[in-house]
Amino acid sequence: MDSRFEENKNVTHVSIDGVELIQFGNLLKYKKVITHCFTTRHGGVSKNPYESLNMAFNKRDERESVEENYRRVAKALGIDIWDMVFSNQVHDNKIRVVTEEDRGKGIIKQSDIIGFDGLATNKRKVALVTFYADCVPVFLFDPVKTVISIVHSGWRGTVKEISKEAVRKMKDTFSCNPKDILAAIGPSIGSCCFEVGDEVYEEFEASIGWSTKYCERKNGKWYFDLPEIIKNSLLNEGVKDENIVLSGICTKCNKDLFFSHRGDNGKTGTLAAIMMIN
């Protein structure tokens, strides 16, 4: 295990039957209520360039291999793949509320969940699944109302403040109080490696002007700290600072453990964020 994970009390790196997963300290306190993880690239059966725990069916990976990967992750977590619900991500900020009727969509049966980068539910045994390979996973949990949400926040979702939209969805649909919500911002490309041009900077400046203080210009390029921008969005929506955990882990810097679109030059597998009310 990398010592950086041992030193970070907010993040736990576990291996269960050879399946390596990331979990978060503030959510593990409620492990009797919810199950969650962020997958790594280790513990599956896929072959290069998807070696080994690829969670995406839309790659040129063998479907049988991806299905086996899901069975292994599900067994490690103690959940049923039939209870999983997949998002269909388009780098927007829409959140879909799902129920028991949505179980299996995207993995066992055809899905009508199109154009949503976030999922939310208050139903038991409905496992939310979203996908990543450098973008930011954001886990949200209200232990008072027992409501969960996961959002996929790439730079486009971040500039559209998808995490704020998820909190609003939890508030409007389930009467959640933002002060009760716990947030875990998982491994993603860090400010050390997320290099973009002026056009991206200008979009952030125009849409959420305060975000530019989390950008640094070096060698003619901009370097963005997306997790910090997301954290600020959550704070602005009423989530308490002490309830927000940042992993502090860059997927590109740690591409030996995580799939990274930039680190692997676009030829890579996909990670999954999974969360379920038990």
Average pLDDT over residues 65-83: 97
Dist CA 218 CA 195 (whole Å) = 9
The mean per-residue pLDDT over the stretch 57-81 comes to 96
| Residue 253, in any domain of the structure | yes
Would you say residue 184 lies in a domain? yes
- Residues 255-267 have pLDDT tens digits of 999 999 999 998 9
Interatomic CA distance for residues 73 and 83, integer angstroms: 13
Q: Is residue 269 part of a domain?
A: yes
**pLDDT for the residue 69:** 98
- Quick one: average pLDDT of 117-145? 98
From residue 173, alpha-carbon distances to 43, 147, 169, 226 in Å are: 37, 10, 6, 27
Pairing of strands 118-121, 95-97: parallel
Which pTM was predicted? 0.96
3 pLDDT more than 50: no
Q: Work out the average pLDDT over 232-259.
A: 96
Termini Cα distance of the chain: 29
**Confidence band (pLDDT; 50, 70, 90) for 9?**
confident
Query: Domain of 155: which CATH number?
Result: 3.60.140.10
User: Is the predicted pLDDT of residue 59 greater than 80, yes or no?
Assistant: yes
In this structure, is residue 228 part of a structural domain? Answer: no
Angle between helices 162-174 and 226-236 in degrees, nearest 10: 30
Average pLDDT taken over every residue of the chain: 95
- Which pair of structure tokens corresponds to residue 192? 């050390």
2 band by pLDDT with thresholds 50, 70 and 90: very low
3-state secondary structure of 212: helix
Task: Give a yes or no: residue 129 inside a domain.
Answer: yes
- 224 inside domain: no
Residue 109 has pLDDT above 70, yes or no: yes
Domains: count for the chain = 1
Residue among 13, 245, 6, 12 at smallest CA distance from 136:
245
State pLDDT tens for residues 25-39. 999 999 999 999 999
Query: What is the domain extent for residue 258?
Result: 3-191+239-277
